[in-house]
Amino acid sequence: MCSTANTIGAIPITNVRNRYNSILCPYKSPACEFPPQNSSHMYAFNVIRPPNQIQTKDTETRFNSDRILAYQSSLRCSNNDNLEAEVEEEEEEARNAVREYLEEYGASREESEQISSSCPKYLKMLIDSVRDLDEWNSWTADSSEIIASDADSCATGTPKLESFKKKVYEMAKGKGDKGILPFLESLGLSLSSATYLAGYLSSHSHTLPLLIHKVKYVKEIFFSDSDDKGLIGKNARRMMMHFSASADEDLQQTLSFFEKIQARRGGLNLLGCENASFRHLIESFPRLLLLPVESHMKPMMNFLEDIGVPGGCTNRVLLLFPPILFYNIDKDIRPKLLAFEKVGVQDNDSGKMLIKYPWILSSSILENCQKVLHLFDEEKVPKACSSRAIRNWPHLLGCSVNNLKMMVDKFGELGIRSNKLGKVVVTSPQLLHCRPPEFLQVVSFLKDLGLVEEDISRILCRCPEIFATSIDRTLMKKLEFLSAIGVSRTHLPRVIRKYPELFVCDVDRALLPRMKYLMKIGLSRRDIGFMVRKFSPLLGYSIEEVLRPKLEFLTKTMKKPLSEVVDYPRYFSYSLEKKIKPRFWLLKSINMECSLKEMLGKNDEEFAADYIGVEQMVVPPS
């Protein structure tokens, strides 16, 4: 039966040795091992038998494995329920050990309970370390000592758990993080991030109570109870989308932070949510936990309020640009704000600009500001216009000059330069963020409707926001509405030329409600379409402020039929108090009847000459 072969059948003898030894672990002793391979006692079998059936050359060296295995079984749980109960008891004792450890380093009872219940990976690491250490000791200790020790523990029960708890406590203390590591994991950080950061903070002499206090304050200033969490995410998306300039280190870190939030389910809508964002905030900006609360963070919050950032909005500024907390107020922030005086920014404007675009405090944005102003000067845009555009829409400062120049050139092709360009950038500075192909698509769309370049140029000056809208989601929807009320394609050019703002009116919240109101008082859809063809701005008027009061005066006071307003829809464009009422009462006083067009279509001199025989009519005060 003996052989010097290195295999048993097709199985290497080393695998059999390892399998056999693993059965005996952790109660392994020299007597239970296979002889080394260079020993003269090499065993080969065609069938691998259980240890108690192994045949050996020397019966004195036969392993009494039945006895050992039976003893092991008596010490271990015989069913899964008991095993799970033992594991749960060990985990509970481990939590108690961590709680005591945290209390020793200054955490309150409530804090230590919360932390020890919220750091599962840290607990598992300690438990695994203790078990690994016990297993190692079992390999090196004499088997009789292990059996005696385990028998004592099994007989009493509690001492074993107490011993385990003590080992966990000593293991935690030996890590040297002073309770900071489990606290960081309880905040949501991964164990690897928490381990790295714990070493970073421990090296700066942070105590656990100080860190707990600091974290509470950071959460307070970054995540207030305001309801603008969705707005913060919307602003972040807009800032990322419109940014094309070079980014300094602070902006790169901020963009990286945004990308981590964006990668989660829910995206940047979660930016203002503490549970979703705090972990990534600390991982991206670990230095936040090094800043002193009283001497740095609180003065910064007071400063932001002093320059016009309302207390309820400071969290927007911080979340959209966390590096602001690392800046020195006098050395960094004040000089940068002073630099914006070139664009007419006053003290009360600084806070408003920071809420809209906190990145104005980054070095790269300040540098790009000079380039943007230089471009506007080259294009002969009035300084008042460029300054106002930047104050109202500071996102322009994050756009590369090359991108801005491409859009300015497209405007120039339509004859929009200097003063006209200034009017466009003041009215709709967002249009400068458009890509030239998107802008040209809208131009082509308007040309297809029958408008010529001269018309398009006037529309661009009057209502530039049209050119930043979606053709499918916005412009086509307005055309479908006009078609539904009877405005044919042949009438579209005239309607659009007279009132291009129709393209930016919301169909569901503005156009449809106004149409339904006019139909409710007795006008047909056909009447409304006819009125729109004659007077395009009709559906741009507010029901409560214009349509209702003027129609009530027409029908109740003037006693005129609705057909008159169908024939002359421009009636709605005149002031009720300054023109309609005075002329009506003057005509009534001389018993004169006339149509709406005759009453309102003339200027004051013509009206007076025709109806009261004087050269000038004095309008009575309202």
32 shares its domain with 149: no
pLDDT tens for each residue of 287-335: 999 999 999 999 999 999 999 998 889 999 999 999 999 999 999 999 9
Does the pLDDT at position 10 exceed 50? Answer: no
Residues 357-401 have pLDDT tens digits of: 999 999 999 999 999 999 999 999 999 999 999 999 999 999 999
Q: Quick one: pLDDT band at residue 85, thresholds 50, 70, 90?
A: confident
Tell me the average pLDDT across 126-155.
Answer: 69
pLDDT in tens, 556-611: 999 999 999 999 999 999 999 999 999 999 999 999 989 999 999 999 999 988 88
Determine, yes or no, domain membership for 462.
Answer: no
Final residue before a domain boundary, out of 75, 109, 130? 75
CATH number at residue 237: 1.25.70.10
Mean pLDDT of the chain: 84
pLDDT score for 7: 40
> Does a structural domain hold residue 432?
no
Which range of residues forms the domain containing residue 512? Answer: 469-573
Q: Name which of 409, 412, 369 is nearest 389 in CA terms.
A: 369
pLDDT of residue 346: 74
Cα–Cα distance, 314 to 293 (Å, whole number): 16
The whole-number average pLDDT for the span 501-513 is 95
146 with 280, same domain: the answer is no
pLDDT confidence band for 6 (50 / 70 / 90): very low
Q: Give domain status of residue 618, yes or no.
A: yes
Specify the higher pLDDT residue, 375 or 34: 375
56 and 104 both lie in a single domain? no
Evaluate whether residue 183 is within a structural domain.
yes
Out of 573, 591, 608, a domain closes at 573
CB distance 501 to 540 below 8 Å: yes
Number of domains in the chain: 5
Residue 451 lies in a domain: no
Could you list the beta-strand ranges (E) of 499-589.
Answer: none
Same domain, 199 and 230: no
Query: pLDDT (tens digit, 9 = 90+) per residue, 533-543?
Result: 999 999 999 99
In terms of domains, do 569 and 519 share one? yes
Answer yes or no: do 266 and 348 share one domain: yes
| C-alpha angle 86-88-91 in degrees, rounded to nearest 5 | 110
* pLDDT value, residue 618: 47
Shared domain for 245 and 372, answered yes or no, is: yes
Is the domain of 366 the same as that of 277?
yes
Cis amide leading into 26 (omega within 30): yes
In sequence order, which ranges of 428-475 are alpha helices (DSSP H)?
436-448, 453-462
Q: Is residue 277 part of a domain?
A: yes
Across-strand partners of 11? 8
Distance CA 276, CA 283 (A): 13
Q: State the Cα–Cα distance between residues 591 and 612, nearest whole angstrom.
A: 11
Share of the chain above pLDDT 70, in %: 81
Residue 106 pLDDT: 94
**Same domain, residue pair 331 and 394:** yes
The percentage of the chain sitting over the pLDDT mark of 90, rounded to a whole number, equals 69
- Same-domain check for residues 147 and 276: no
- Residue 26 near residue 135, CB atoms below 8 Å: yes
pLDDT per position as a tens digit, 474-498: 999 999 999 999 999 999 999 999 9
Interacting residues of 109 by C-beta distance below 8 A, sequence separation 6+: 103
pLDDT digit string (tens) for 398-423?
A: 999 999 999 999 999 999 999 999 99
Per residue in 167-208, pLDDT (tens digit) is: 999 999 998 899 999 999 999 999 999 999 998 888 777 899
Cβ-contact 536, 495 below 8 angstroms: yes
Residue 457 lies in a domain: no
Same domain, 30 and 105: no
pLDDT of residue 80: 60
16 in a domain, yes or no? yes
Query: Does the pLDDT value for residue 30 go beyond 90?
Result: no
For residue 266, what pLDDT is reported?
A: 87
> Sorting pLDDT into bands at 50, 70 and 90, what band is 84?
confident
Q: Which residues, including other chains, have CB under 8 Å from residue 171's CB and lie 6 or more apart? A: 126, 129, 130, 133
Q: What is the pLDDT of residue 392?
A: 92
260 and 378 share a domain? Answer: yes
